[in-house]
Structure formats: C-alpha cells, structure tokens
C-alpha cells in the first residue's frame, strides 16, 4: 500500500518535450554552478576528456556528499555542497551543475516511478511512501550524443541494484549501471518495470518540477525535511 495523502495535486496535461530537447549549460536556481562552492568542487575534479571527467566528478561527489533522505528536489547544488549531504536527486543535481560549469550540456528525462521501488528502505513507514515518485534523470551531451547518467560507466560489476542496504541509486551508477528504458546493455540494471509514466524531456530539472511539482506536498516536506535530511540513506 502506498500513500496519496502527502502528494500535491498534479497539473493536468503537462508533458515535457521529445528527445529533440537541446538541453543547456546555463545556470538555474538548482544548478547554480556559478556559485563559489560549486566552482571549488569542480576544480577538485582531475582534468580529462569529457566522459572520463564526468566519471571522476561522480566519484568526487559520492565521497564529498553523504547520502541522506532529504526531500527538497529544488535545493540548490551549492546548498548540498555546503551541507555535505544530499538525497540521490540532490547529488545528481550537483553532478549536472559541475557538468554545466565545464561546458557540457545537460537535460533531464522526467520519470514517474512506482513508490514501491523504495519499500525496502522504509520498513514500517511504507504506508507513507507516495504512490508515484517524480524523478529527474540527467543526460549529458558527450561526443555528439546524449548519454544518460546511468550509462557513464562502461564496466559493470555483478549484482543488480536492489534499493536495499547501504548502496543508493547514485552510488549504483558507478558499480552496475542503471537504465529506466528497458533497452540497457549487458550488466546494466534494468529498472524499466518500475516506471509508471514517462514525462518527457526538459532543459533542466527546475522546469520539470515547476511543471509536475515535487513528489511531496509543501507541508510534508516542511515537516519531514528537518529529520530525514540528517538520516543516512
């Protein structure tokens, strides 16, 4: 059983663009790569070609920003860097922000994911998990093509991502790969069975959440954020 009590009223008829959405390198409210904190983090990433640089950036963010159950999908990347902790969504936003600071275009695909995907993490709190979780899944324009974040790493270790235990979705990207489209390569974890609806492509995550709203309503985020943003994922 999942909950529909804690979610905002969805806007009807709103969909994103097609795969032709161009993406951007511009700073946004969430992807505030012009801030000193994000710039300093980007400077820590070793110089390399774009693809290898993104892999290194993922590792730096994984080590610098502790995974927690934060609820605010519109938290700025600089805030996550300053606090040294963030949800999977917030850590992905930091990766997008540093990519844009490097001049790499990014965009996101909006996904509505079955809330039961997160059941293993919440035990007795499962009834409070929303029926649908809105996920902004980043893509990066590298070597003339769009590359989803789950495809950054070519070498996949055995063992699919289960969303149980200490490994988070962000961490799994560097170990086994993650795909939501059902057309993943060998060794990549196919999570397409959990996708309830594909919401289209957006130039940035701010646009996605402005259209679809965040997973939880303002009241739920306000009450839950002070506690869950410190709870390790």
Extended strands (E) in the chain: 66-67, 85-86, 106-114, 132-142, 145-148, 178-179, 189-190, 195-202
Tokens of 45: 């990433």
Asked whether the predicted pLDDT for residue 145 surpasses 50, the reply is yes
Domain map (residue ranges) of the chain: 36-228
Question: How large is the angle between the packed helices 88-101 and 36-43, nearest 10 degrees?
Answer: 80
In this prediction, residue 128 has a pLDDT band, given cuts at 50, 70 and 90, of confident
In this prediction, residue 200 has a pLDDT band, given cuts at 50, 70 and 90, of very high
- For residue 188, what pLDDT is reported? 67
In this prediction, residue 5 has a pLDDT band, given cuts at 50, 70 and 90, of very low
Q: Which CATH class is domain 36-228?
A: alpha beta
pLDDT in tens, 205-221: 999 999 987 666 545 55
pLDDT in tens, 13-47: 456 667 789 999 999 999 999 999 999 999 999 99
- Per the prediction, the chain carries an average pLDDT of 84
| 3-state helix, strand and coil shares in percent for the chain, rounded to the nearest 5 | 35, 20, 45
Arithmetic mean of pLDDT, 160-182 = 85
- For residue 158, what pLDDT is reported? 61
């Amino acid at each position: 059983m999942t909950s529909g009590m804690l979610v905002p009223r969805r806007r009807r008829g709103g969909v994103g663009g097609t795969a032709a959405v161009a993406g951007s390198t511009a700073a946004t409210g969430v992807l505030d790569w012009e801030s000193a904190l994000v710039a300093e983090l980007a400077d820590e990433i070793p110089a390399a070609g774009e693809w290898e640089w993104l892999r290194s950036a993922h590792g730096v963010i994984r080590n610098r920003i502790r995974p927690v159950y934060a609820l605010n999908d519109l938290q700025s990347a600089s805030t996550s860097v300053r606090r040294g902790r963030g949800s999977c969504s917030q850590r992905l936003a930091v990766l997008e922000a540093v990519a844009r600071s490097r001049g790499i275009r990014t965009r996101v695909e909006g996904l509505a994911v079955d809330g039961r995907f997160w059941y293993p993490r919440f035990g007795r709190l499962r009834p409070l998990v929303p029926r649908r979780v809105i996920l902004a899944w980043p893509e990066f324009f590298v070597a003339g093509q769009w590359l989803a974040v789950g495809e950054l790493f070519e070498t996949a270790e055995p063992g699919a991502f289960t969303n149980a235990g200490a490994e988070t979705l962000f961490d799994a990207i560097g170990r086994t790969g993650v795909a939501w489209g059902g057309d993943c390569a060998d060794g990549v974890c196919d999570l397409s069975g959990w996708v309830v609806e594909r919401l289209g492509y957006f130039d940035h995550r701010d646009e996605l959440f402005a259209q679809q709203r965040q997973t939880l309503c303002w009241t739920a985020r306000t009450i839950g954020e002070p506690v869950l943003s410190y709870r390790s994922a």
